[in-house]
Structure 1
Amino acid sequence: MATKSKQTHFRRADTAPPLPTDTVGFILYCLKRFRRLIFLMLLLETGQAAGGILVPYAIKALMDNVYSQVGAEFSWEAFKQPLLLLVGLNVAEILFSRSSGAVLIIIGPRIRQRTSRLLYAYLQQHAPRYFANHFAGSLAHRISETAQSVNHTAWSVLFDFWPISVTFTVSVILLLNVHTGLGGFVAGWVFLYVATSYWLATRCQPYAQNYAATRSLVNGKIVDAVTNMLNAKLFARLAHEREYLDGFLETEVREGQRTFWYMERVRWFQFTAAALLKIGTIAYALMLWRQAEIGVGDFAMSTGLALLIIGDARNLTRRFLEFFEYVGNVANGIDTIVKPHEIVDVSHAKPLQVTQGRIEFRDVCFAYEPGRPVFENLNVVIEPGQRVGLVGFSGSGKSTFVSLILRNFEPQSGCILIDGQDVCQMTQDSLHQQVSLIPQDPSLFHRSLQENIAYGRPWANDEQIREAARLAHADAFIDAMPDGYDSLVGERGVKLSGGQRQRIAIARVMLKDAPILILDEATSSLDSVTEKTIQENLDRVMGRKTVIAIAHRLSTIAHLDRILVFDQGRIVEDGSHEALLAQKGFYHRLWAMQAGGFLPEEQEWRPSDEE
């Protein structure tokens, strides 16, 4: 009942794949498309393992014939069938194993591709809050690690545990046919060895996990130190950084030694158990032969089977450890990525239709955390085509206001309407198609400049792309680059300066041409001359769009139709620049106290303070 209740309340976007949240279910879901080929591989591995373990049986037949030929005239005819059996088993082993390898080549990369695709498709549907709480590199690594571990988990079962099971089973059956006591002795050894190996692997798992976690920590410390190498040089702290890193490296050594000493004890068990099987099987078989209960061939087969069993069993504990590690990696990937989606489209959500661009907040209550409200019953209307500036100190609610429009978060009560349509009842894709955002710190794809500019309108032609770049004053530096519009910008656009990235972001939004435009200090990284020119072009492009501009530099929004002044989640003043200055209130004080054209981070007075 508890599992059913949990699944009932598990929110998942309709467009996300229905990934199971349990490890075994997830692995089977990733593999189910290839189940016929996997079953074929299972049959081929069975044939390969059986062919290998039956070789001692063919040698038994040869030895029996050799013994029977002692003192008699030699005849090749007596050896024909055993030799054919020996050749046939070796050929079968080769054909089965290489056929299985061929199937592996076909489906191995496909399984990894499918797992990566499923996890990425699921990851895409998480809300911005999720990505704010996770490093992008860590998520990318987790997808890759999980996909690889799904493959390794499947291969461990197919190529390790299943063939070993076949080997043990066939060996015991052959020995039971030779002598019940001999077969029972080997069966008992196999059972005790497998059970003990599994138990030792579970005991060793915490050591291996701690060692892996320590290696990961040390790797992170090295990355941090390398990233900040310039700071270490500037502060003459190179020796300190070496000493600091040595402490973590010493911890890694200690954890490694603890793990390896435990593994050494495991190897003592493996070698001792192997010796007991070899000596026990040979001694028991020799005793049976002396008592004439088994023949020479049976003795040879028993010895050969014992050696083959030992060869397969010797690394069984290590295989168990690797298997647990792979399963643990998959479980970590599920725990990280396959979480409930915070924001999902309602069933039968409709596409947003923007004909005018009227935005209304109606009794909106919102809090990031319970008990700490940002907005309480917020009501405000932005008329179609209005250009509205949002001002206020950090934490006053400006960015939250915009995030709610973009549906990066959802209000706890109330609604946000665009042209009378509740955005929470519309599809997220249609909302984002109708709203453009120029962020303060834009991020670009590591693709060409042309692809980045045309991202919101991929069908745009070269002329339209170049016109958008010209309006954003990006055409000059693009033309100066060796590859022009085909130039790659680097990860997140690191090959460009802050001002260049901002101009590409402006060009991208100009080309998208959505009816609602949001600017978050969109020209803060530009020089004043370029800013003035781009601002004029923006004003022309705005046309009759509904525009919302967050400003920390009040001069950039003074020309807008209307200004909303935020303070602690409330709109304390609302009007044009001139009207607000005439009121001699909150906005007037903000305007008067600007330092270097920017607002200070915090206020030292309240609107109710006396002048």
Structure 2
Amino acid sequence: MGRAGEYDEREAQRVAAGRAATSPRRRPRGDDDEDVAALPRTPVRFTAHFFWRFRWWYALIIILEVGAAVSSIVMPYAIGQIVGAVTQWAGEAGAQRDIGAAVSGPLVLFVALAIGEVVFNRASGACRVYVSPRQRTGIARAMFDYLQRHSQHYFSNHFAGALSARIAETSVGVNMTLSTVIFEFLPLAITLAVSIFLLSSASLVLASFTLAWSAVFILVSYWMARRAQPYAEKHAAARSATSGRIVDTVTNLANVRLFARGDYEREQLAAVQGREIAVASRAMWFSEKVQWFQMGAALVLKVGMLYFALTLWRDGRIDVAAFVMSTSLSLLVINDARNLGRRFLEVFEYVGNIANGVRTIMQPYEIVDRPGARDVVIRRGDIAFENVTFGYDSERPVFRDLDLVIPAGQRVGLVGFSGSGKSTLVNLLLRLYEPQQGRIMIDGVDIRDMTQDALHRQIGLIPQDPSLFHRSLADNIRYGRPEASLEDIRAAARGASADGFISEMPLQYDALVGERGVKLSGGQRQRVAIARVILKNAPILVLDEATSALDSITERVIQDCLDTVMQGRTVIAIAHRLSTIAHLDRILVFDHGTLVQDGSHDALLAQPGTYQRLWRQQAGGFLPTS
């Protein structure tokens, strides 16, 4: 069996030993792990879910916030009592009463409230410091965990950057929504409730006036915030459009220079910015209206409270202590409520971000492991497509009732014009898509009865355009076998003719490759990808134009390496350059999803048909486009 036998023994042990570490469904669960399948898919329930995870911390925070708010709002009462005691002492000065004794009670209350406000407030802040980053990262981790299990079809319909932004916005949105409710709305509600209670003990007129003002202020602030929301959304969209235009131009600055279109791009940016200015002006003018309302409402409360307090004091219906308390309370209420409209608007924005993130990320999975799916070890590598029908659009199938058997250890090349079904066959084998009919078997096991992780661990893929992580070369090569030593990595790199250029780099295997490997040439990226698959040492190998980015000399070297790697493995190779697969055991020729020819290179070349025509029509070794 050679390499396949070596793989068989080692992989069986590795799958059994490393199953928990490599399978996200079976890894050891910690306190912060989420059952991602159970994550809610509505904004309110999603937010409540993560609130519940920290419910005891939030209960403590709420208690502390209530304590801080009560301490703050009761201070005017203490001040009123101090002023009342001083006034009474002044009236009884002839009796030579000790002022210390007169104000000791209210003064102790005031000091206790001042200390309580500080202690409660900072204790609440300390709890927030603990909860907030853990909750944000927990949400991001749970959403990322959910996201990475989506099908290839899902990712083909969404931009990677947009998905990343959705996760960040949602995690921040949940944090900020809960923070605003607990640290802004709750203290204001307590302030209003306690103020009305304290005022009612002094005068029902003052309490009724404050209650009516509070109801009108909250309702109008909420209504204006809802009215302002569309303006804010349009302003945000306009800012995004401007940023997008700048990024698009900067990304294509080479083209701008080569086509001498600098003036045009500046004019286009000015036009986009002009639209942003118009939208921003409307949004800011509406914000000014909100500010006018809030300042006017604050003026009404201050003047009204002062008027009623003076009138009641003049008529002897309240004393000096109640007069001071009522005027002080009005200032505190105004201070807490002055940004209520803006807070409403922020909450709407946060909830909108949560809704967008949940709606985008938390969609039902298209491809899932069947109940009871197993971590099957592929021991031989037999592949069979049985009565497979599949189409990306179900109304236009690529394959109809495809039957195909590839025995273990056979090296097979796939040939055909673009759109003939070559890549689709590989995508189905990798279970990136599900057939609408039929089944795909490996070693007699339906791949749907394997876990997706088990299937992907045991198939090595070298794509036409390999993508690397922005990590070191060593990390990229060992990605398929995390426990590999540096010597294993070097051996794989030598097998892919990558060790030479890596050794010439200043940091060698510790060198970072840049985003998607942009610091490397196309050929270097391809060799790193080949080294990664060599190290993975899977029993089934898929080559999708694996040497297309290499020069002819390097291609010959890599082809020799691949020929060695292919020994004892089941190989499926897609190629446009027919010379790269002519030596394989078998060639399958597809045309519009139909297997039209099947045989060796010599046999197919000897008989009239599609393969013979393709071979003769090749220009520079590549297939014609049609």
Q: Note the C-alpha offset of 1:550.
A: 0.1
Q: What residue number does 1:47 align with? A: 67
1:431 alignment partner, one of 455, 475, 479 = 455
Gaps of 5+ in 1: 1-11, 604-611
Alignment partner of 1:574: what SS? strand
1:456 alignment partner, one of 459, 477, 480 = 480
Q: Note the C-alpha offset of 1:17.
A: 4.1
**TM-score, with structure 2 as normaliser:** 0.93
**TM-score, with structure 1 as normaliser:** 0.95
Number of aligned residues: 591
Q: Note the C-alpha offset of 1:402.
A: 0.4
- CA deviations on 1:218-263 (whole Å, 9 max, x unpaired) are 1111110110111111100000000111111111111111111111
Alignment partner of 2:391: what SS? strand
Contact 1:16-1:125 within 8 A present in 2 as well: no
Contact 1:364-1:378 within 8 A present in 2 as well: yes
1:348 and 2:367 correspond: no
Q: What residue number does 1:24 align with? A: 44
Contact 1:282-1:303 within 8 A present in 2 as well: yes
Pairing of 1:256-267 with structure 2 (within 5 A) = 256-267=280-291
Q: Note the C-alpha offset of 1:589.
A: 0.5
Alignment partner of 1:455: what SS? helix
Pairing of 1:269-284 with structure 2 (within 5 A) = 269-284=293-308
- CA deviations on 1:260-314 (whole Å, 9 max, x unpaired) are 1111111111111111111111111111111100001111111001111111111
- CA deviations on 1:108-129 (whole Å, 9 max, x unpaired) are 1101111111110100110111
Pairing of 1:291-440 with structure 2 (within 5 A) = 291-440=315-464
Q: What residue number does 1:198 align with? A: 222
CA distance in 1, matches of 2:394, 2:584: 35
- CA deviations on 1:498-534 (whole Å, 9 max, x unpaired) are 0000001111111111000000010111111211122
Alignment partner of 2:296: what SS? helix
Q: Note the C-alpha offset of 1:352.
A: 2.6
2:559 alignment partner, one of 530, 535, 543 = 535
Q: What residue number does 1:159 align with? A: 183
Alignment partner of 2:80: what SS? helix
Contact 2:614-2:624 within 8 A present in 1 as well: no
Residue type of the partner of 2:531?
A: A
Q: Note the C-alpha offset of 1:457.
A: 1.0
- CA deviations on 1:394-425 (whole Å, 9 max, x unpaired) are 10100000000000000000011111111122
Q: Note the C-alpha offset of 1:484.
A: 1.0
Alignment partner of 1:368: what SS? coil
1:476 and 2:496 correspond: no
Contact 1:410-1:424 within 8 A present in 2 as well: no
Alignment partner of 2:404: what SS? strand
Contact 2:462-2:533 within 8 A present in 1 as well: yes
CA distance in 2, matches of 1:583, 1:24: 67
1:118 and 2:118 correspond: no
Cα RMSD, aligned residues only? 1.3
Q: What residue number does 1:607 align with? A: none
Structure 1 segments of 4+ aligned residues over 6 angstroms from their partners: 12-15
1:502 and 2:526 correspond: yes
- CA deviations on 1:487-507 (whole Å, 9 max, x unpaired) are 111111111100000001111
Residue type of the partner of 1:59?
A: I
1:92 and 2:116 correspond: yes
Q: Note the C-alpha offset of 1:13.
A: 8.7
CA distance in 2, matches of 1:551, 1:16: 39
CA distance in 1, matches of 2:384, 2:37: 34
Residue type of the partner of 1:371?
A: E
Q: What residue number does 2:547 align with? A: 523
CA distance in 2, matches of 1:355, 1:102: 56
Residue type of the partner of 1:29?
A: H
CA distance in 1, matches of 2:610, 2:572: 20
Q: Which moved more, 1:283-292 or 1:73-82?
A: 73-82
CA distance in 2, matches of 1:314, 1:345: 53
CA distance in 1, matches of 2:87, 2:556: 104
Pairing of 1:167-316 with structure 2 (within 5 A) = 167-316=191-340
Q: What residue number does 1:572 align with? A: 596
CA distance in 2, matches of 1:177, 1:422: 77
Q: What residue number does 2:76 align with? A: 56
CA distance in 2, matches of 1:291, 1:334: 60
Q: Note the C-alpha offset of 1:74.
A: 5.1
CA distance in 1, matches of 2:197, 2:153: 60
Alignment partner of 1:70: what SS? helix
Q: What residue number does 1:8 align with? A: none
Pairing of 1:75-86 with structure 2 (within 5 A) = 75=98, 76-86=100-110
Q: What residue number does 1:65 align with? A: 85
Q: What residue number does 1:609 align with? A: none
Alignment partner of 1:362: what SS? strand
Residue type of the partner of 1:34?
A: F
1:485 and 2:509 correspond: yes
Give the direction of change, closer, same or farther, for the CA distance of 1:74–1:226 in structure 2 (3 Å limit).
Answer: farther
1:150 and 2:170 correspond: no
Gaps of 5+ in 2: 1-23, 27-34
Alignment partner of 1:211: what SS? helix
Q: Note the C-alpha offset of 1:353.
A: 2.9
Contact 1:13-1:125 within 8 A present in 2 as well: no
Give the direction of change, closer, same or farther, for the CA distance of 1:354–1:216 in structure 2 (3 Å limit).
Answer: same
Q: Note the C-alpha offset of 1:16.
A: 3.3
- CA deviations on 1:444-470 (whole Å, 9 max, x unpaired) are 111111111111111122222111111
CA distance in 2, matches of 1:166, 1:29: 25
CA distance in 1, matches of 2:291, 2:486: 67
Q: What residue number does 1:598 align with? A: 622
Q: Note the C-alpha offset of 1:67.
A: 1.7
CA distance in 2, matches of 1:88, 1:459: 61
Q: Which moved more, 1:79-88 or 1:64-73?
A: 64-73
CA distance in 2, matches of 1:555, 1:529: 14
CA distance in 2, matches of 1:31, 1:445: 34
Alignment partner of 1:390: what SS? strand
Q: Note the C-alpha offset of 1:370.
A: 2.5
1:585 alignment partner, one of 605, 609, 617 = 609
CA distance in 1, matches of 2:339, 2:570: 68
